[in-house]
Amino acid sequence: MEKKDEKMLIDREEMVLKGKVEVVGNLIAAKLSGGNIEFFSFGEYFEANPLLEMIEPHAHLKNQIWSDGIIHSFLTSNDITLKIKMTAYNNTLVYHIQNLSPMRINLKMRGSLSTFSWFNPDFRDKIAEMANVHFNFHDGILEGSYGGSYFICVTSNGSMTADIKGSYAIYEIKSNLLPRESFSFAVLGDSSREKVITYSKTVLNNSRMVEDMKKKWIKDIISKIPRLNTTKPEYLLLWKYMWYIILANRATVWNNPALKKPFTMPSKFALRHQWLWDSSLHAIVLSLYDVKMAEEELLNLFEAQKLDGRIPHEIFLSKEFCKLFWGVDDYSPWTTQPPVLAIAVKYIMDSGGEKEFLIKAFKVLERYDEWFRKARDADKDQLMAYIDYLESGWDNAVRWDEAIRLFEKNPFKYKSKYKEIRMAPVEAVDLNCLIYIQREVLAELAEKLGLHEKAEEYIRLANETANKIMLYMWDPENRFFFDIFEENHEQIKVKSPAAFFTLYAGIASKEQAEGLVKHLLNPKEFWTEFPLPTVSADHKEYDPKGYWRGRSWINVLWFDIMD
């Protein structure tokens, strides 16, 4: 791309970024590497690596830029110059090559499409069988069907052949391009086979239509983002891009009884489910953009609540994948996640949420709090316990190591109190700070809805939890809050930023807060290059590259910044 063309893009478009190689639609996500679509996924139904690879001609990347959801690339080799564009909108991906060379070129491409398995070959055939996945090739179009509910087609204006191998297909495409002629390639998904085939022909004849719809969508969302008068000019692009990310990760799934409403995926490239605390945090952000959208973000979670009151920690797009991963015949496992939901409801309430939504939220939160008391508080002390490291949200954190070791040493001891359990029960600092806040929110909702006795009940329960946090979790010698084992209230001497949740909740006293801040600002503990690692940097197991064993996570950071 010439400098003048690049400047025109920067002047004309909302967002222009170098080094960004991803495009996303609704369920579609793809990455462009040079002239190759090296990664592709369509929800939890289909995937490819690569989706499309250029075999001939051999050309190298000269320049690439991402502009308002469209990737512009230039490939060159000797006298050959190719201009490539790729974008995704809704459930359509389009890839376009224009021959800018003075001579004819012969294009040869190959690619693949597989049943979704998170690129795990052991899962692929099993899921294909469970979901009745079929591939079919006719008239230059490769079709895929997942359970008769999700249809996909791969097509181009070149000459295409395909070889179907059960749970996946491979294909080859050839095209001869005269100077200024173009090659188009498209992937489309829909709930109807007929629609996806018909629309694919429209897209091939007018790929610019998809680009225009993408640009319009971006301009529309950017026009509605909150304006910050104090934003420095150099941060304006970052501000736009952050809003683009959360809104571009919104998704709508059809024919899924557990995901009837749109929601936000943490990532359309890796984390395609709806998670409990992720969506709660997304709703907090969305309440600043569109309160109805924020309400909508939580509705699937409300509907997913089980008869006993538990809200599951994740909702899969694919029931088959959930069954293979968790061993349950459902869209959700048996775990929950950090109860951030009440905080999201509070933000929505303060942003003018509808009364109907608040009534529903109160009922859901009340049942959820009752479930915690019945299912995560065996000693009935109003301190709730995590019994599985994955429901903590902190997955493989160092703070669970001893609890896992104790469970593995004597699992029957703990299974007598909890049916489903994978570590000795831990009454965690952050969990109980969130329970305290949940009860405060329930009290406020109850008052707002005229339920005065309920409000008093939840104020009493909140205070009881706060008092127990102060009684058992504070270590005056170390001036720090520690997790405790449920069975004996022994402190687990692992310093983690969970302690700082007491500041967010307003539980810590002034003197305790001063002690915590000293730990927070100590570069040998938590004030590292990327602050707030998930375990203190002076711990022997600290690993700044370890998943939850020393990395910094934005969700944990948010609670501590908001203290």
The CATH number for 160's domain is 2.70.98.10
Domain count, the chain: 2
Identity of the residue numbered 199: Y
Residue at 509 is within a domain: no
How far apart, in whole angstroms, are the C-alpha atoms of residue 264 and residue 524?
36
**Is position 153 within any domain?**
yes
* pLDDT beyond 70 at 5: no
* Rounded-to-integer distance, Cα 481 and Cα 501, Å: 10
pLDDT tens readout for residues 451-489? 999 999 999 999 999 999 999 999 999 999 999 999 999
Reported confidence tier of residue 3, pLDDT bands at 50, 70, 90: low
Domain boundary among the residues 332, 355, 378 is at 355
Residue 88 lies in a domain: yes
By the 8 A CB rule, do 59 and 75 touch? yes
Q: How many CB atoms lie within 10 A of CB 485?
A: 17
42 and 105 share one domain:
yes
User: Are 270 and 153 within one domain?
Assistant: no
Please give the C-alpha separations between residue 547 and each of 314, 393, 542, 551, in angstroms, as whole numbers.
Answer: 19, 12, 11, 6
Cβ atoms of residues 83 and 74 within 8 Å:
yes
The answer on 178 and 261 residing in a single domain is: no
Q: How confident is the model at residue 10 (pLDDT cuts 50, 70, 90)?
A: very low
Identify the residue with better confidence: 3 or 189: 189
Give the pLDDT score at 118: 84
Domain that holds residue 319: 249-355
Residue at 70 is within a domain: yes
Q: Is 21 helix (H, G, I), strand (E, B) or coil?
A: coil
| 217 and 254 together in one domain | no
Contact, 272 vs 317, CB < 8 A? yes
Structure confidence by residue, pLDDT tens digits, 262-277? 999 999 999 999 999 9
Which three-class secondary structure state does DSSP give residue 492? coil
Confidence band for 347, pLDDT divided at 50, 70 and 90: very high
Question: Is there a contact between 184 and 96 (Cβ–Cβ < 8 Å)?
Answer: yes
In a shared domain, residues 68 and 184: yes
412 belongs to a structural domain: no
Predicted confidence band at 12 (pLDDT cuts at 50, 70, 90)? low
Identify the domain boundary among 288, 322, 355: 355
Residues 191 and 322 in one domain: no
pLDDT > 70 in the chain, percent = 98
Residue 14: partners with Cβ closer than 8 Å, 6 or more residues away: 68, 218, 219, 222, 240
Position 408, amino acid: E
Cis amide linkage into residue 50, ω under 30° from 0: yes
Residue 364 lies in a domain: no
Question: Quick check: 41 pLDDT over 60?
Answer: yes
Same domain, 33 and 85: yes
Q: What sections of 383-422 are H helices per DSSP?
A: 401-409, 411-415
Q: Is 14 contained in some domain?
A: yes
For residues 160 and 122, membership in a common domain is answered with yes
Q: Is the distance from CB of 104 to CB of 179 less than 8 angstroms?
A: yes
Closest Cα partner for 115 from 95, 94, 130? 130
Residues 128 and 33 in one domain: yes
122 and 83 co-located in one domain: yes
- Same-domain status, 119 and 71: yes
Give the chain's length. Answer: 563
Query: For 491, which DSSP code?
Result: B
Query: What pLDDT digit, counting tens, does each position of 491-541 carry?
Result: 999 999 999 999 999 999 999 999 999 999 999 999 999 999 999 999 999
**pLDDT tens-digit profile of 182-204?**
999 999 999 999 999 999 989 99
State pLDDT tens for residues 289-311: 999 999 999 999 999 999 999 99
Tell me if 397 sits within 8 A of 548, measured CB to CB: yes
Taking each helix axis as running N to C, give the angle between helix 355-375 and helix 429-448, from 0 to 180 degrees, rounded to the nearest 10.
140
64 and 212 fall within a common domain: yes
Domain boundary among 327, 355, 383: 355
Q: Is residue 317 part of a domain?
A: yes
